A and B are shown apart, each in its own frame.
Chain A
Amino acid sequence: MAALTRPATGGSGGVGGAAGPRQPSVLANPWVRALAVIAVFVAGYGLFRYLGSPAWAGPFPTGIGDRFMAWLDGVYAWIVENRNDSPLFLYGFNYVSVGLGSAVVLINRVLDLLTWAGVTVIGVLGAWRVAGWRVALLVLATFAVFALTGLWDESMTTLALIITSVLIALVFGVPLGILAGRSEAFHRGIRPVLDFMQIMPAFAYLLPFVLLFGIGNPAAAVVTAVYAIPPAVRITALGIREVPKGAVEATTSLGSTPWQVLTKVQLPMAKRTILLGVNQTIMLAVSMVVIASVIGAGGLGDAIYQALSKVNVGEAFQAGLAIVMLAIAMDRVTGAVGHGARTPHIPPRFRLPVLGTGLVAVIVVVTAARAVGAGGWPRELSVDISAPVNAFYEAVQAGIGTYTAALSEWTLDWVLTPLSALLTGSPWWLVVVVAAALGWTLAGWRAGLVSGASFVVIGLLGVWVNAMDTLSQVLVASAVTLALGVAVGVLMSRSDVFAMLLRPVLDAMQTLPPFVYLIPAVALFTIGRVPALVAAVIFALPPVIRLVNDGIRGVPAATKEAALSQGSTKWQLLSKVELPMARGSLLLAVNQGIILVLSMVVMGALVGAGSLGFDVVFGLAQNELGLGLASGLAIVCLGLFLDRVTQGRRAPRA
């Protein structure tokens, strides 16, 4: 648990300050109290170990959880039995599933009908019109990557799925966001639901959706939409709220109906922000389509799986690269729409002719391409980069494999195993009390209650021991992420050149599907919890680095000058001025880092991390709805605890 306290104190600032003479009592500092709680916890563990771990001081009994899982398995059996008889399915879910499945197929057919040439021309011209020639070039490069990696058809399948699911997400998300923006009560009601959707690991709800909507494209589209909806709702609500009250009141006093206020004032003024939400929705959809391949969605994710079943890292990387390009291109295009920057300035009277010329160009290209019999990009004309990537991978493995394996063993022996023993070996009620106490100390009594309750629910779900083991892994991965993130973030804020070089790397790290680096992690760190830890750190690091960098760069120059002129050393400037002033960003970085690490729990199970993540994967693969869902819910509970504890006492996020 010490992991939680260390980074948030910003190195030495917090604890050092607490010992200072101005503090009335040492215990008034929440970090000191948190340390005390942890000390009590460790002492308690030692005591019960000494007593020989009596039954009343063991893990949470699993009786209730077992019954809950059995009940879910019963639900599963009922659905299988009644899928083609029950009206709920005949007139409900089956419609959705058939409709969505067909929609994806249709869009794919349209893309196919346009041929590779047509799709490229439309994409590039469209990107130029909304985002300028730089982004248009990026889009062209993206299509070139699709073509040259020999993954054109897969990319189009993925694109079709993304389009379908983003449309669903927006059709539901934007109206919900508008409601949440206009009604405080609705906003308060929907926020926990959105939190829940964002923390629940996607793998855990794959199975229920497969059950309701059918395997393949329909379930994939729904799952992707569900995963991508939260930012659409949140950011739309934020946009509507940010519209100045004065503007709304002025229109209302002029006698506008609420509908007029919405369409004439609120929506136009919130347009930029809403488009930012669209951007975020698309980005999440891109990351989800890879996971959706597990349930037969096909496309680029499928190409990655195919490569992995042969343990061909180079090929997986190649498909990963196509996804990275797709994500970056979609981000830049939609981002540009939101900001309106760099859009070519075309006088209004030329707009129609420009559009007309564009359309004619598209029609000419499509007709010409179809006339010569083009379809997808011919596979023969592709460049195979998997061989050099594989060679590089093998060289790295040969070069540093022994050292990384030794590091892995050390981490297991000295960090992961003891921490796991502490959490799984302590009496469950002691853990609940410690969690509640930590929540209360660090973030107030409300958070304390939520924390304690989360742990009780984990117990009731019947997965206590696995959850504690997972928690130990999450804590260690978070600590490593935050330590590295703060260090790199500080360096990045020091040097503009370094920052410029680092940005594209961070972009790629954030969009590269984790599947691609899971296998190299095993090769270097041996199977088990450590490669999972490494993968989680890689995944969670970029946002932490960015937040730390932004926070430090946000410190006013005048403040820094003042500190320097008073003779501060560089280290003092950093530890006494910059880090404390960037506290808001740092806290957010801690929170985001931990939540992202948690979202990798299930991925980690694919390389031997076991515990909750494995049960989620196992539940999906063996159709055990009860086990999969209970473990998924337990991950949500862990997330709730970690989120509340690290949000601190500041106002809740929008």
Chain B
Amino acid sequence: MRRSRRAASTEHALVRLLAVGLALMMVSACAVRTDQIARDPNTVRIALNGWVGYEASAEVLAYVLREEMGYEVQLMRVSEQPSWQALDQGVLDVIVENWGHEDLMELYGPEGNGTVVDGGPNGNEGVIGWYVPAYMEEEYPEITTVEGLKEHTDLFRTAETGDQGEFLGGAPGFVTQDQGMIDAFDLDLEIVYAGSEASQITEVRRRYANEEPVLFYFYDPQWLQEELDLVRVDFPDYEEGCADDPSEVPCDYPAYELNKIFRAGFAETGDPAYQFLDNWTWTNADQNRVAQMIADEGMDPTDAAEVWVEENPDVWRPWIPKDVEPAG
């Protein structure tokens, strides 16, 4: 939002003020639906969920929309579930990286109140699972199996969990089935809820530096995977329906084909911005490249997106719909 705003001329800004005022006057005359909030049609509003991989995707898309297609882009930072709600309320147009959430699709999708549509896969594959640092596997090679883990839960004891092993949970907004897995496999573990991804990563880094044991919820693509050497614990593969009862989940997390979610009204416009987002797919490697520039090298997200866009024209050119003139 900020970058494009700077470019706007005086006239542009005045016209927009007028448009906002007009919208206000218009809506004050009749019943108001939430999607009538003042906004201009030239703005694409993208949800920004709180992990860096997501941010990488969103920033690259925003960069191309702004610089190559002349749109304004608003990135709104919200958690996963509230982003769906924002689509439903007409406040946002798209979620660019969705992990599962079948329940929400039932609620808001075509079967529910029909305010969102599935935009298909974005090319990224997501893995959620239980992770331990590689140095633990070196010392206890069997620890990445269910039986081995069960035997060694005492390694993970901390002052916080007393005589049970500690399982470090993920951020509260994330998809989880950890308690169900603990119960199903009868593991002597207690979940400590990190409460936020930032504190979880801080703690994992601290233990990693001291080579202390740690067992935690994590996922891939995630930039920390490049910084630390982590190993995933093997559980029986996910099968359809094995996670239906949240109190007893005798299987691993499913592999996610990450997808896009559009606001139905946005998809219906068939706008070039929609077509562009619809065409977009890229690989985990693409996302990690950008995410690492943001998280590890501490680059400004927009600068990181710019670097990637300059390096990879062959990847993103095909996303732009044919009939769109490249903007200056």
Interface residues of chain A, those whose CB is within 8 Å of chain B, are 77, 80-81, 83-84, 87, 89-91, 94-95, 97-99, 101-102, 105-106, 109-110, 112-113, 153-154, 210-211, 214-216, 218, 293-296, 298, 302, 305-306, 308-312, 315, 370, 375-376, 378-379, 386, 397, 401, 408-409, 412-413, 417, 518-519, 522-523, 526-529, 531, 605-610, 613-614, 617-618, 620-623
One of B10, B91, B113, B172 near A215 (C-beta < 8 A): B91
Interface centre among B38, B158, B197 (most CB of A within 10 A): B38
Among listed B60-68, B79-87, B147-155, B310-318, interface-contacting one: B79-87
Q: A91–B32 contact, CB under 8 A?
A: yes
Q: How far is the CB of A349 from chain B (nearest CB, A)?
A: 37
How many angstroms between the C-alpha atoms of A312 and B20 in the bound complex?
A: 37
A-B contact pairs, 16 of them (CB 8 A): A80-B113, A101-B38, A112-B13, A113-B10, A153-B1, A215-B85, A216-B76, A295-B82, A309-B50, A310-B52, A375-B6, A401-B206, A409-B159, A528-B160, A608-B194, A620-B79
Among listed B23-31, B135-143, B230-238, B270-278, interface-contacting one: B23-31
Q: B173–A610 contact, CB under 8 A?
A: no
- DSSP class of A's interface residues: helix, strand, loop or mixed? helix
Q: B13–A296 contact, CB under 8 A?
A: no
Q: A102–B195 contact, CB under 8 A?
A: no
Q: How far is the CB of B226 from chain A (nearest CB, A)?
A: 13
B residues in contact with A310, CB < 8 Å:
52, 294-295, 298
Q: Does residue B258 face the partner (Cβ distance < 8 Å to A)?
A: no
A386 to B, closest residue via Cβ: B298
Instruction: Give 1 or 0 for each of B74-115: 1 = CB within 8 Å of chain A CB.
Output: 001111111001101101100000000000000110000100
A218 to B, closest residue via Cβ: B37
Q: Does residue B196 face the partner (Cβ distance < 8 Å to A)?
A: yes
Number of residue pairs spanning A and B whose beta carbons lie under 8 angstroms apart: 220
How many angstroms between the C-alpha atoms of A267 and B294 in the bound complex?
A: 54
Q: B88–A80 contact, CB under 8 A?
A: yes
Q: B38–A102 contact, CB under 8 A?
A: yes
Interface centre among A84, A295, A609 (most CB of B within 10 A): A84
The 9 A-B pairs at the shortest CB distance, nearest first, are namely A621-B173, A90-B31, A102-B38, A153-B2, A528-B160, A527-B203, A94-B32, A412-B159, A409-B159
A residues in contact with B6, CB < 8 Å:
153, 375-376, 378
Q: Does residue B252 face the partner (Cβ distance < 8 Å to A)?
A: no
How many angstroms between the C-alpha atoms of A296 and B33 in the bound complex?
A: 20
A153 to B, closest residue via Cβ: B2
User: Besides A309-B50, A621-B79, 10 other CB < 8 A contacts?
Assistant: A77-B107, A81-B113, A83-B89, A94-B36, A98-B36, A302-B77, A527-B160, A527-B168, A607-B195, A620-B79
A residues in contact with B5, CB < 8 Å:
112, 153, 375-376
Q: A614–B195 contact, CB under 8 A?
A: yes
B residues in contact with A523, CB < 8 Å:
202, 206
How many angstroms between the C-alpha atoms of A106 and B203 in the bound complex?
A: 42
Q: A309–B198 contact, CB under 8 A?
A: yes
How many angstroms between the C-alpha atoms of A605 and B158 in the bound complex?
A: 18
Q: Does residue B145 face the partner (Cβ distance < 8 Å to A)?
A: no
B residues in contact with A379, CB < 8 Å:
300
Known pairs A83-B34, A375-B5, A614-B172; A609 contacts B195 (CB<8 A): yes
Interface centre among B13, B78, B107, B160 (most CB of A within 10 A): B160
Q: B23–A102 contact, CB under 8 A?
A: yes
Q: B159–A413 contact, CB under 8 A?
A: yes
Q: A210–B77 contact, CB under 8 A?
A: no
B residues in contact with A102, CB < 8 Å:
20, 23-24, 37-38
Q: B88–A311 contact, CB under 8 A?
A: no
Q: B80–A621 contact, CB under 8 A?
A: yes
Known pairs A309-B50, A370-B10, A376-B2; A84 contacts B82 (CB<8 A): no
Q: B77–A298 contact, CB under 8 A?
A: yes
One of A113, A294, A412, A608 near B195 (C-beta < 8 A): A608
Q: How far is the CB of B161 from chain A (nearest CB, A)?
A: 9
List residues 18-62 of chain B with CB under 8 A from any CB of chain A. 20-21, 23-24, 27-28, 31-34, 36-38, 50-52, 55
Q: Does residue B128 face the partner (Cβ distance < 8 Å to A)?
A: no
B residues in contact with A295, CB < 8 Å:
78, 82
Q: B193–A605 contact, CB under 8 A?
A: yes
B residues in contact with A412, CB < 8 Å:
159-160
Q: Does residue B184 face the partner (Cβ distance < 8 Å to A)?
A: no
B87 to A, closest residue via Cβ: A215
Q: A518–B199 contact, CB under 8 A?
A: yes
Q: How far is the CB of B211 from chain A (nearest CB, A)?
A: 14
One of B37, B51, B76 near A98 (C-beta < 8 A): B37
Q: A605–B195 contact, CB under 8 A?
A: yes
Instruction: Give 1 or 0 for each of B290-301: 1 = CB within 8 Å of chain A CB.
Output: 000011001011
How many angstroms between the C-alpha atoms of A566 and B143 in the bound complex?
A: 73
Q: B202–A311 contact, CB under 8 A?
A: yes
Q: A91–B76 contact, CB under 8 A?
A: no
Q: A621–B172 contact, CB under 8 A?
A: yes
Q: A305–B77 contact, CB under 8 A?
A: yes
Known pairs A310-B294, A408-B159, A623-B82; A97 contacts B37 (CB<8 A): yes
